[in-house]
Amino acid sequence: MFSHLQPTPIDPILGLMAAYKEDPNPQKVDLGVGVYKDENGHTAVLKCVKEAEALRLKLEDSKTYIGMAGDLSFNSHIEKLAFGPAHQVLLAGRVVTAHTPGGTGALRVAAEFIKKANPDATVWVTNPTWANHVSLFQAAGLKVKEYSYYDWETKGLKFDAMMAELATVPAGDVVLVHACCHNPSGMDLNFAQWQQFAELAKEKGFTPLVDMAYQGFGLGLDEDTQGLRYLADLVPELLLCSSCSKNFGLYRERIGAVSVITADSKTADIARSVLLAVVRSIYSMPPAHGAILVSHILNSAELTALWHQELAEMRNRINNYRQLIIDKFKEQGIAQDFSFITRQHGMFSFLGINKEQIEQLRKDYSIYMVGSSRVSIAGLNHSNIDYFAKAMAEVLKG
């Protein structure tokens, strides 16, 4: 049976990571991987996480399963982080949440849930979107289509085209939208645009699926959910996928959550049974460690304050580097306008350079980025940003 298997093409980002690792150049720069790095180029464990781990080690007295829905305290905290503690969907018992193996796991559970709710549903994703979105939904047997989003010419949004296309989406289909820090472009909807999107969703009857992998990395914990909360005010049903990889630095712990928001509490009870059946059929029970760490942090006023501080430091470092890139480019005499970088949010940006220039950066300077010119701002630091700016200046001359 196995002799008939054909090799699967390697994911471009994973291939980029492998090439970077093998590169002997001591000045090499990794702008491809979507992981936060500090000034030393290191993805450190947050102090609040270290303290929570010590507390967990002290208090843990069993390794038994935690149930298909996962850690209930974690689920409650994630809901409040997303919607605020007094949002109507929480007070009315309209939200059902299961903690999952990472944000990717949340999306896969959401996909299977959609399949059970409407097997004929099409999932609409932004053009472009995170590379794994399409394969996750297709793996569940769902059809996937794209809608206009990023404008390569203006380095902004094709908002009018986006709304025109979404106006044709039939009721029963699902429209995926990024809550904040759009991956891969960094271009987000502003609040007025969120309002128009929400009103269109209500009018047309399609179901929004909000992917929130970067809460707190854009403008702030509450600011990054402003659109989501307005959407939940307006539409009767939506799906939310959350991740703790970035904002808690819990990448390898694989902790996320999927939330289903229904029209009323009775429907929520039905949705819970379906959601847990989906979980049972995929991985049965989620991992406990990371979720309990998050619960320990958010159960403690002291650790929550420390987390807020550390999250702000990460967010501010990225935002400061967006401006620093512009400053360094100007120092190198780069005349091309890159000011759009400062209008974006989160870790990513498209530089808008061509494939030949991307290849030259890799070949001549060991600077690695995705073939679309997407760069991770967090890969820059004071020891490599001048080198990067000089390399960009040389490549743009050609």
Tokens of residue 194, six digits: 């969120």
Task: Return the SS3 of 121.
Answer: coil
Q: Confirm if 306 and 287 have CB atoms less than 8 A apart.
A: no
Contact present, 248 and 46 (Cβ < 8 Å): yes
Residue 246 annotated as catalytic: yes
Cα gap 263→19, rounded to integer Å: 49
Based on the residue annotation, tell me whether 211 is a catalytic residue of this protein: yes
Q: Tell me how far CA of residue 180 lies from CA of 25, 130, 298, 320, 388, in angstroms.
A: 35, 13, 22, 18, 27
211, 224, 307, 328: which is the annotated catalytic residue? 211
Determine contact, residues 162/182, Cβ cutoff 8 Å. no
CB atoms within 10 A of CB 34: 21
| Length of the chain measured in residues | 398
DSSP assignment of 11-46: PHHHHHHHHHHH---TT-EE--S-----TTS--PPP
Active site residue 194: no
Which ranges in the chain belong to alpha helices (H)? 12-22, 47-59, 72-83, 88-91, 102-117, 133-139, 159-166, 191-204, 226-234, 265-282, 289-299, 301-331, 355-365, 385-397
Catalytic option among 37, 246, 307, 328 = 246
- If you ran DSSP here, which 8-state letter would residue 343 be given? G
Q: Of 130, 224, 307, 328, which one is the catalytic site residue?
A: 130
By annotation, the residues acting in catalysis are 130, 211, 246
